């Protein structure tokens, strides 16, 4: 298994502001994944973050809206920029420790007013 | 492209009963992984069980087992002797064995175990 810590656990933000979510893993991993789970919905991959290179974004997600940093092999951040109420979601960080098995953090619940 | 479909939005059973959650998927890949994840109200996603497509034997983890029908592209989860702690959202997911490693999730099934 993997221990994945996310901060903040939850936050309430005003529209037009930005929030950075942190993800810390207890050991080095090559790739980290950021998912979004909108209210009552399933999980959708936002982007894949490799250390030392630009993140790879999925269709419908862009770097200007969701900039990602990956400064080392145990840490990543996801910023939700210029937030609107539609960005209210749970954002989850995950890593693949064993091929084919993802481990998830507890998620960051974001509410935008 | 991969797709995963869960046709049961909600299910409810009594404690100690057996329940089966359905999942179908579509992929053009010959080798892939299939998963069931559990998301309790605490919202952390927990891996329940994993199946590799090249393995014919159905995966089993204690009270959890799958019925993997590759030709039918079906991957159902059976929970035996259900417990109150099994109450959660259950997501079926698939992932290619090679290349892009993202998980594609189904819509989820909300399972309630009643005392």
Concatenate the DSSP letters of all residues of A26-43 into one string.
SS--SEEEEEEE-TT--E
CA distance B40 to B31: 30
Asked whether the beta carbons of residue A102 and residue B33 sit closer than 8 angstroms, the reply is no
Gap between the terminal Cα atoms of chain A: 36
What residue segments make up the domains of chain A, in order of their start?
4-112
Of B44, B50, B108, the CB nearest to A101: B50
Looking at CA atoms only, how far is residue A81 from chain B in angstroms? Answer: 23
From the CB of residue A17, how many other CB atoms can be counted at a distance below 10 Å? Answer: 11
Classify residue B79: in a domain, yes or no: yes
From the CB of residue A77, how many other CB atoms can be counted at a distance below 10 Å? Answer: 18
A7-11, A66-70, B27-31, B36-40: which range is least confident on average?
A: B27-31
A65-79, B42-56, B96-110: which range is least confident on average?
A: B96-110
Classify residue B99: in a domain, yes or no: yes
Q: Provide the CATH number for the domain around residue B11.
A: 2.60.40.10
Give the per-residue pLDDT at B20: 98
From the CB of residue B16, how many other CB atoms can be counted at a distance below 10 Å? Answer: 11
Residue B28's pLDDT band, with cuts at 50, 70 and 90, is: confident
Domain that holds residue B46: 3-109
Gap between the terminal Cα atoms of chain B: 41
pLDDT at B44 exceeding the cut of 90? no
Classify residue B115: in a domain, yes or no: no
Overall size of chain B counted in residues:
115
Question: What does the DSSP 8-state code read for residue A73?
Answer: T
Predicted confidence (pLDDT) per residue in B67-92, tens digit: 999 999 999 999 999 999 999 999 99
Give the per-residue pLDDT at B56: 85
Query: What are the backbone angles phi and psi of residue A86, rounded to the nearest 5°?
Result: -65, -15
Question: What does the DSSP 8-state code read for residue A62?
Answer: -
Query: What are the backbone angles phi and psi of residue A16, rounded to the nearest 5°?
Result: 90, -15
- Mean per-residue pLDDT for A26-48? 92
Classify residue B75: in a domain, yes or no: yes
pLDDT at B12 exceeding the cut of 80? yes
Residues ≥6 apart with Cβ < 8 Å to A24: A4, A5, A6, A7, A74, A75
Looking at CA atoms only, how far is residue B81 from chain A in angstroms? Answer: 26
Secondary structure string (H, E, C) spanning chain B: CCEEECCCCEEEEECCCCEEECCEEECCCCCEEEEEEEECCCCCCEEEEEEECCCCCCCEECCEEEEEECCCCEEEEEECCCCHHHCEEEEEEEEECCCCCCCEECCCEEEEEEC
Q: Which of A91, A106, A93 is nearest to A32 (CA)?
A: A93
Residue A1's pLDDT band, with cuts at 50, 70 and 90, is: low
Classify residue B114: in a domain, yes or no: no
Q: Which of B49, B22, B25, B51 is nearest to B37 (CA)?
A: B49
Residue B13's pLDDT band, with cuts at 50, 70 and 90, is: very high
Q: Does domain A4-112 have CATH number 3.65.10.10?
A: no
SS3 A7: strand
Counting the structural domains of chain B, the total is: 1
pLDDT at B38 exceeding the cut of 90? yes
Classify residue B17: in a domain, yes or no: yes
Q: Is A51 on the interface with B (CB under 8 A)?
A: no
Of A48, A90, A103, the CB nearest to B43: A90
- Mean per-residue pLDDT for B25-44? 89
């Amino acid at each position: 298994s993997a221990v994945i810590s996310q901060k903040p656990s939850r936050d309430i933000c005003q529209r037009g502001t930005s929030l950075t979510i942190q993800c810390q893993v207890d050991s080095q991993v090559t790739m980290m994944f950021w998912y979004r789970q909108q209210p009552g919905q399933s999980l959708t991959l936002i982007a894949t973050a490799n250390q030392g290179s630009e993140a790879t974004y999925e269709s419908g997600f862009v770097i200007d809206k969701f900039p990602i940093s990956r400064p080392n092999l145990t840490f990543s951040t996801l910023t939700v920029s210029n937030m609107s109420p539609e960005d209210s979601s749970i954002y989850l960080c995950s890593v693949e420790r064993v091929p084919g098995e993802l481990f998830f953090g507890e998620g960051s619940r974001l509410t935008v007013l | 492209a991969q797709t995963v479909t869960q046709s049961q939005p909600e299910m409810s059973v009594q404690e100690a009963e057996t329940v089966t959650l359905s999942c179908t998927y579509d992929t053009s890949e010959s080798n892939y992984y299939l998963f069931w994840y559990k998301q309790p109200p605490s919202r952390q996603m927990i891996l329940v069980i994993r199946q590799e497509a090249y393995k014919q034997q159905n995966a089993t983890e204690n009270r959890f087992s799958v019925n993997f029908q590759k030709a039918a592209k079906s991957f159902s989860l059976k929970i035996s002797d259900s417990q109150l702690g099994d109450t959660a959202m259950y997501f079926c997911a698939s992932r290619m064995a090679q290349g892009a490693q993202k998980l594609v999730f189904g819509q989820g099934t909300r399972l309630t175990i009643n005392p």
